Structures are given as C-alpha cells and as structure tokens.
Amino acid sequence: MRTVADDIAAHADRHPHRVALTTPAGDVTYARLASRIDELARVLHTRGAGPETVCAVAVEHGAEAVAAIAAVLRRGAAFVALDVTQPRERLAAFARSAGATLLLTTSRLAPALGLGLPEVLLDQPSATGAGDTGGTDGHGAAAAAVAPGALPPPAPVRPHALAYVSHTSGSTGEPSPVLVEHHSLDAYLRDTARALGAFGLGPDAVVLQTAPLGYDASLRDTLVPLLAGARLVIVDRATLLRPEDFVRTVREHRITALLSTTPSFLAHLAGQPGLGEPLAGVSLVACSGESLRPFLAAGGRPLVPGALVNQYGPTECTMTTTRYAVPAEPGLTADPVGTPRAGAVIRVLDAGLAPVPDGTVGEVYIGGTGVARGYGGRPARTAECFVPDPCGPPGARLYRTGDLGRLGPEGLHYVGRTDRQVKIRGYRVDPAEVEGALLSHPHVTGAVVTPRTDDRGRVHLVAHVTGDLAGTADGDLRRHLARSLPPHLMPRTFARLDALPTTRSGKADRRVLAAGSPA
C-alpha cells in the first residue's frame, strides 16, 4: 500500500522546487524533503527497521521531525513521537510502553533523554549519507553510511502492520499506548485531505503547524498538508502560545489553513483586545479536542471568517471520526459534531448494546476503518473497550468511547462523558493520573483531583490534598508534578484538607469535593 512518503515523492517528481516546509532554518522543497526521507529510510533499513519495529522519534519541531516520521512509515515500521519538552521520566515511560527498540534523535538531545535505546543521530554522518567510520559513535548510534541507490526499493507496506503508537489517559491513571495500523492511518490522512480540500486545502494552501509532537493531532497538522501538496509552516512553539505573535505569524506567512486548533485556543484569541481580525485571510479552521459549544455560545463564530469545521473522534479511532461544518449563524442549544467520515461507523447504544432511537441519549461507539488494534500490553483494558459490533458483520469491532451522544438531522450531537475523563485545552485527561503523581510526594497522604469550569467556560483541575503540608507550598507541589506531568495536567489550585470526605462505602466523595471546589 502507498504511504504519505510515496505522495511526497510524487509531488517532488512533478514540482521539485515547490516549497514543502517553511521552518526557522529556511525553506525545504518537496525534492529536498523526498530526498531526506529516502536517506533516512536507507539508514532505517540498515538498522533492521521493518514491520512491527517501533522507532521513538525525539526531535524538536522542524524538517527533521517530518522526514523521520515519513521515513519510518515508508519502511513499513511504526513510530512513537516524543515531545522533547516534556519531563524525561514521562518520555521514558512512553518509549517503554510503546515497545520502542530504536531512537531517532540528535547528538544534543540524546544525552538528556537517556532512553537507553540504540540511536540514529540525525545530525551525524551516519544519517546524512556522508562519511563511513565503520562502527558506532559514543551513543551507540549507527555510523555506517549508506550510498544512494545501494539498497533495493522498500517492500510494500503491510496494511495491518503497526504504524504509530499514541498515548492517552485511562482509568488506571497511567497513559495507555494506543496501537494504530497503517491502513487506518493512511485511510484517515487521505479522507481528511479529500474532505478539507472542499474548503481550500490544496497545493496553494499554506498551513500552520500548531499541535505539539507527541500528540496524534500533530499527524493531521503535519502529514495532511503534505499529502495535499501544500506548504507547511513550522515556527517556534512559544510563538504559538502568545496571541500577538501567533497573529503576526499568520499574517507574515499568509496562512490559509489551521487544521488542529482547540476551542479553548479560539476562545483565548477572541478574548484578546487590539488584535483586529486575527484570522483574516484564513479560509479554513478545523478544531477538535473538546466541546465547541462554549466558544459558539460566547459569540465566537465571527472570529473565524472562513470555514469552521468541528471534528470529533478519540485517539483509539485514528483521530477524527465525524466532521461538522459550522454555519455562519450556528445554533447554540446543542453540540453537533457531524457525520462519520468515509469508512467510519457511529452507533449510539444503551447499556445492553442495543441501538437507541434517534434523538435519545446513549453511549457513543465507533467502528470501521479507524478503530485501533488496541492498547499495547493491556489485554484486559483492550477487551473492555474494544467490543464486538452487535449490529455489524462477523468480526467487526466497536470502540466504547465513554462519550454520551444522540443522533439527529445534523449527525451526532455530543452530550458529555460517562466517566471521570475531561478535556483540558484539547487534551484528554484522566484525573487519576494526576492523583497518582501527587501521592508520590512524601508529604501527601491523600489526593483527589476534580475538574472545574471557570466563568469563561475553561476547564481546569483542582487538587484536594491531605497530609503534613504546613511546610510545603503550592510551588513545591507544582515542581514535584512537573517532573512527570506535562503542563495541561497541572492543577490550577490546591485545596488543603484535614481529611477527604468519603461515601458510605468509604470511597472519596468526589461529588462533594467537586461541588466545593474553589474557582
């Protein structure tokens, strides 16, 4: 089967001088990008990377990250992308749970990562086709150069081989590795390029990469524009977090499409005075990750002058399952997320897995081409969440999302959650993960984390803690959490209690705590 690397090579053959990437280091043409992908694919071949090999990609945003991911796909192997700004312990846990056996990184990052994996150092001759020392360097990286054309063409990619591993929070409190196969990723990328092409995503589009590496949304951000032959603009991540710099970037590069924004970011942008028309010239904004309804209810739709596409779908179903084109004057009494993409199936079922009538709230189950293989190393959780489709052909599976929804004329309407998971700034969060990190602090004896929504509709976390904490400031707790958790899992406030309230069964009474959470 084809991969996005093949399409990049085809663009390079037809339009070698067209710019594929604009980065702080300069522009990269499709011809140069395709050549770099070939170079890295040859190196991966010499390192034995093939079907079911998992390669950890740990590099900063830029051309090398794009080329490394595409090269892994071309080899028919799999990758787990690591956000190098996250804590080292977390990255090590991700690489370990993904089953990574090879690390693609740079000589500057490798010592700090300390993952203990064989390395391909992308900035060394072994990964650039130059030089041949016939051995390994001090980090254990391959040092044998591979001459262009020295290897046979790669074997066809196996559709059901593993393509990537993406981690998501779960009820156990630890991120679970989600295993997505090549056929699922490729079908998603091609369908997305086709669907968003109706809103101007094509060779003339200029797309700004906004999602951080390590999250599956970055695959849409990165690979869909290249599949469409567009130009992808990559800037320093800090720039995207400052509204003034973000707007200046959009204007300077004449951005026409944003494929992975969150409603929270749009609301934040709308709330900044003096920005004028921050998205002027942007013909397409695709958002996902959390409910769009608060943003629309606050009157935010005019912020987006072009098409606004609401996307819905969990990591376990290859990112996006449904899409909804938000009209210029949207309704505010519901939260439509639209109709299934090609090959996807949406079922709204009751507790007995029977379909509920249209308009009736039930639990959302997803089937079809996007459903992942399961959770790596967690057969019990896989069996719990990936179930037989009672309405489908033999062997068909459904993913149990834990979302509540109902079907109507506009497709699926999102209603809420059946469990404790919440969305914060577009990230799926299970409070149990934060509780576990808090309980590892030597002075914390009890911890319950609850979500709260502020007066601007933004969801954040409140940590309720017990223990001998008189000499432990909130800053100390934050520094402790920062060793293992990313910023979006950081509680906004810490409520110190003598004891946690309990239910009659002796469990922590989360409803009481949530009701009394400080703002």
Pairing of strands 257-261, 284-287: parallel
Name the packing angle between helices 263-270 and 243-252 (round to 10°).
100
- Beta-carbon neighbour count of residue 239 at 10 Å? 13
Cross-strand partners of 233 = 22, 208
369, 344 in Cβ contact below 8 A? yes
pLDDT at 316 over 60: yes
Instruction: Using CB atoms within 10 Å of the CB of residue 380, give its burial: 0 to 12 exposed, 13 to 18 middle, 19+ buried.
Output: exposed
pLDDT score of 517: 56
pLDDT at 519: 47
Predicted pLDDT of residue 135: 35
Instruction: Say which range, 34-48, 119-133, 161-175, has the weakest mean pLDDT.
Output: 119-133
Nearest to 311 by CA among 374, 235, 202, 224: 224
Helical segments of 271-358, H only = 293-297
pLDDT of residue 173: 56
DSSP-assigned letters across all residues of 388-452 = E-TTSSTT-EEEEEEEEEEEETTEEEEEEESSS-EEETTEEE-HHHHHHHHHTSTT--EEEEEEE
pTM: 0.86
pLDDT digits (tens, 9 = 90+) for 251-307: 999 999 999 998 888 888 888 888 989 999 999 999 998 888 888 888 899 999 999
> How confident is the model over 135-147, as a mean pLDDT?
40
CB 282 within 8 A of CB 258: yes
Of 31, 30, 12, nearest to 21 (Cα)?
30
Q: What percent of the chain has pLDDT over 70?
A: 92
Q: What is the pLDDT of residue 151?
A: 58
> Phi/psi at 222 (nearest 5 deg)?
-95, -50
Q: Which residue has the higher pLDDT, 507 or 447?
A: 447
pLDDT at 132 over 80: no
pLDDT tens for residues 437-480?
898 899 998 888 999 988 877 889 999 999 999 999 999 999 99
CA dist 467 and 220 (Å) reads: 44
| Residue that the structure tokens 């991120």 belong to | 175
| Stretch 376-402: mean pLDDT | 95
> What is the spatial order of strands in the sheet that 162-168 belongs to?
119-121, 102-105, 54-57, 78-81, 162-168, 176-181, 374-375
Q: Between the CA of residue 212 and those of 85, 115, 209, 218, 416, what are the distances in Å?
A: 9, 20, 8, 6, 26
Full strand arrangement of the beta sheet holding 446-453: 446-453, 459-466, 493-496
Q: What is the mean pLDDT of the chain?
A: 90
Domains of the chain: residue spans and CATH: 430-515 (3.30.300.30)
